[in-house]
């Protein structure tokens, strides 16, 4: 059985700005040499739909690979490294299930639907504030939306968002494996940790309890001995980070895509069910997450031996554009009929906790934005984020008319 | 072994023998039964292992608990009776012969 370390695999230049702008020419060429596996500078990248789907279920062999990220920067022993190695995603099996159970009830489809009115309130408020301008950077606008919704779910004030926004961006940049972000992300983490610690202390001191506030449920779980004090804070931070950087990128990419499809804009304004179709196809066409796993035990898959210690990235954006799974993958078609579901939220034990909340807020956001602004056009140069971690647009300048 | 019979909407049956304790979802995946996806691996996080329990078996499979109920809201527009997430039904001697009907789509 050939070892992947000894195979002559194609290389994907994920750090190249051209790749970040449009990875597909590189991936199409790589696919000619191997249908689903390639190398990148730090490890291996799985880009075939079926392979990502199969391997994502092998949670016992492929654990979350944040240890590779920590070692890339050689910062073991720092508070940031402790967080990376101990947070929810770094656990597996019963420990993972225990920690995840402490928040799972707040993320069911039922709860996501209950949060919809609050989502509408947040986006309406933001549009009141921003739509008076002739135009704005949509990426910046979108960055205030999902995190405000998440603060609502936690039951904490949104006034802290400006304080933590940049720090979350900097923390997330660490996932792109680029030394230029060191040591910035360590400092950003200290700021985030102080913020979360303050949130928890303030809530404890206030004595207030709200049965819908997730922070209160987490404090109660800690008091009942189901979570440690550290796990409570790790979880709040995980949620703030996850809630910030994913939906905002998806919403920005959705706006970008719809600039090319004005025929869908009016329809989104009229019909929220159509928004759901647009969002689902966006999650397929332009998903954002490339996540790291680490092989903890040798295993064989499709005639390949994966050795212990290898770093393997699952690339959802590339897997969702695999022509073997989705015919004509680069065509954006909200009416695509298929039982083959995209991998945007992953599979297996680490499947996205917030997938129903994310879908609901993307649908509600898109619906209200299309109702309140019209004729959006690109008003300047766009810029792409690094590919690894959470891909997307860092800048999307638009101009528009305010709908009557 | 516990016999579970999965029925497709066109009447095709998939009789399957499961070890006691194995979920009806896992049993379907292990035996190539179509329609059941189980995207989250059985932790009530995805709602893609929907089945309709045959009326004759609903007393024995019981009612969904709160988290399952909250997840089943995904399928609120689906008018079928007996909706359950099959990761929450475990094979047992009491369920020997259980009949579950498979949806045409999990989405």
Asked if residue B90 belongs to a domain, the reply is yes
Domain of B69, CATH number, reads: 3.10.20.30
Cβ-based burial of A159 (10 A; exposed 0-12, middle 13-18, buried ≥19): exposed
Per-residue pLDDT tens over the stretch A360-378: 999 999 999 999 999 999 9
Average pLDDT for residues A162-191, to the nearest whole number?
Answer: 94
**Across B40-82, where does the E strand assignment appear?**
50-53
Q: Are B40 and A351 in contact (CB < 8 Å)?
A: yes
Task: Determine the Cα–Cα distance for residues A371 and B102; give it in Å rounded to an integer.
Answer: 39
Closest CA to B25 of B75, B79, B68: B68
Beta pairing partners, A378: A398
Task: Determine the Cα–Cα distance for residues A60 and B51; give it in Å rounded to an integer.
Answer: 27
A49 interface with B at CB cutoff 8 Å: no
Helix, strand, or coil (residue B4): strand
Helix, strand, or coil (residue B100): strand
| Residues A328 and A54: beta-carbon distance below 8 Å | no
Q: Point out the residue among A59, A108, A351 whose CB comes nearest to the CB of B71.
A: A108
Instruction: Kindly provide the ipTM of the predicted complex, given to two decimals.
Output: 0.95
Q: Tell which B residues from 29 to 88 touch A, by Cβ distance under 8 Å.
A: 37, 39-41, 43-48, 66-67, 69-71, 73-74
Please, which pLDDT band fits residue B16 given cuts at 50, 70 and 90? very high
A104 interface with B at CB cutoff 8 Å: yes
Per-residue pLDDT tens over the stretch A41-87: 999 999 999 999 999 999 999 999 899 999 999 999 999 999 999 99
A100 interface with B at CB cutoff 8 Å: yes
Per-residue pLDDT tens over the stretch B22-38: 999 999 999 999 999 99
Q: How many domains does chain B have?
A: 1
Asked if residue B106 belongs to a domain, the reply is no
Closest-CA residue in chain B for A350?
B40
Task: Determine the Cα–Cα distance for residues B6 and A377; give it in Å rounded to an integer.
Answer: 52
A57 interface with B at CB cutoff 8 Å: yes
Query: What range does the domain containing B51 cover?
Result: 2-101
Closest CA to B37 of B81, B72, B76, B86: B86
What integer pLDDT is reported at residue A348 of this predicted model? Answer: 95
Per-residue pLDDT tens over the stretch A286-342: 999 999 999 999 999 999 999 999 999 999 999 999 999 999 999 999 999 888 999
Q: Are A339 and B69 in contact (CB < 8 Å)?
A: no
Helix, strand, or coil (residue B35): coil
Q: Are A104 and B46 in contact (CB < 8 Å)?
A: no
Task: Choose from A110, A344, A359 for mutation: most chain B CBs within 10 A.
Answer: A110
Give percent of chain A with pLDDT exceeding 70.
Answer: 100
Q: Chain B closest CA to A55's CA: distance in Å? A: 12
Q: Chain B closest CA to A27's CA: distance in Å? A: 26
Secondary structure element (H or E) that encloses residue B101, with its range: strand B98-101
Secondary structure element (H or E) that encloses residue B84, with its range: strand B83-85
Q: Chain B closest CA to A135's CA: distance in Å? A: 37
Domain ranges of chain A: 4-402
A58 interface with B at CB cutoff 8 Å: no
Closest-CA residue in chain B for A342?
B39
Q: What is the CA radius of gyration of chain B?
A: 12
What integer pLDDT is reported at residue A339 of this predicted model? Answer: 81
Cβ-based burial of A10 (10 A; exposed 0-12, middle 13-18, buried ≥19): middle
Size of interface A-B (CB pairs under 8 A): 50
State whether CATH 1.10.630.10 applies to domain A4-402.
yes
Q: Are B45 and A339 in contact (CB < 8 Å)?
A: no
What integer pLDDT is reported at residue A292 of this predicted model? Answer: 95
């Amino acid at each position: 059985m050939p070892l992947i370390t000894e195979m002559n695999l194609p290389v994907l230049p994920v750090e190249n700005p051209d790749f970040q702008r449009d990875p597909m020419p590189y991936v199409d060429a790589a696919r000619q040499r191997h249908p689903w596996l390639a190398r990148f500078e730090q490890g291996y990248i799985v880009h075939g739909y079926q392979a990502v789907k199969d391997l994502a279920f092998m949670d016992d062999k492929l654990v979350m690979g944040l240890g590779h990220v920590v070692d890339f920067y050689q910062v073991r022993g720092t508070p940031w490294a402790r967080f990376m190695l101990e947070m929810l995603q770094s656990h597996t099996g019963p420990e993972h299930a225990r920690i995840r159970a402490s928040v799972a009830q707040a993320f069911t489809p039922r709860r996501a639907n209950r949060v919809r009115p609050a989502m509408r309130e947040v986006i309406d408020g933001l549009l009141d504030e921003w739509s008076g301008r002739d135009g704005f950077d949509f990426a910046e606008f979108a960055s205030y939306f999902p995190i405000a919704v998440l603060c609502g779910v936690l039951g904490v004030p949104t006034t802290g968002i400006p304080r933590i926004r940049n720090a979350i961006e900097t923390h997330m940049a660490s996932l792109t494996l680029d030394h230029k972000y060191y040591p910035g992300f360590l400092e950003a983490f200290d700021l985030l940790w102080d913020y979360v610690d303050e949130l928890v202390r303030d809530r404890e001191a206030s004595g207030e309890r709200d049965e819908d506030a997730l922070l209160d449920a987490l404090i109660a779980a800690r008091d009942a001995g189901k979570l440690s004090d550290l796990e409570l804070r790790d979880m709040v931070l995980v949620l703030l980070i996850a809630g910030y950087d994913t939906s905002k990128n998806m919403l920005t990419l959705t706006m970008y895509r719809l600039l090319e499809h004005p025929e869908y804009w009016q329809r989104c304004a009229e019909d929220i069910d159509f928004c759901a179709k647009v969002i689902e196809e966006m999650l397929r066409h332009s998903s954002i997450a490339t996540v790291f796993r680490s092989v903890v035990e040798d295993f064989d898959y499709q005639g390949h031996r994966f050795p212990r210690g290898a770093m393997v990235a699952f690339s959802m954006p590339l897997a969702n554009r695999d022509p073997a799974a989705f015919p004509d993958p680069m065509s954006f078609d909200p009416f695509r009929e298929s039982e083959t579901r995209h991998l945007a939220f992953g599979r297996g034990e680490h499947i996205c906790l917030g997938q129903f909340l994310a879908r609901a807020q993307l649908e509600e956001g898109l619906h209200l934005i299309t109702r309140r602004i019209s004729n959006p056009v690109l008003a300047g140069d766009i810029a792409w984020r690094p590919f690894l971690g959470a891909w997307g647009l860092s800048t999307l300048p638009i101009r528009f008319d305010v709908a009557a | 072994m516990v016999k579970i019979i999965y029925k497709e909407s066109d009447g095709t049956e998939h009789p399957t023998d499961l070890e006691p304790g194995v979920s009806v979802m896992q049993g379907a995946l292990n035996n190539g039964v179509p329609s059941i996806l189980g995207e989250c691996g059985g932790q009530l996080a995805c709602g893609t292992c929907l089945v309709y329990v045959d009326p004759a078996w609903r007393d024995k499979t019981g009612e969904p608990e709160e988290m399952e109920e909250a997840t089943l809201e995904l399928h609120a527009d689906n008018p079928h009776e007996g909706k359950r997430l099959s990761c929450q039904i475990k094979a047992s001697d009491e369920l020997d012969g259980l009949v579950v009907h498979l949806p045409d789509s999990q989405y």
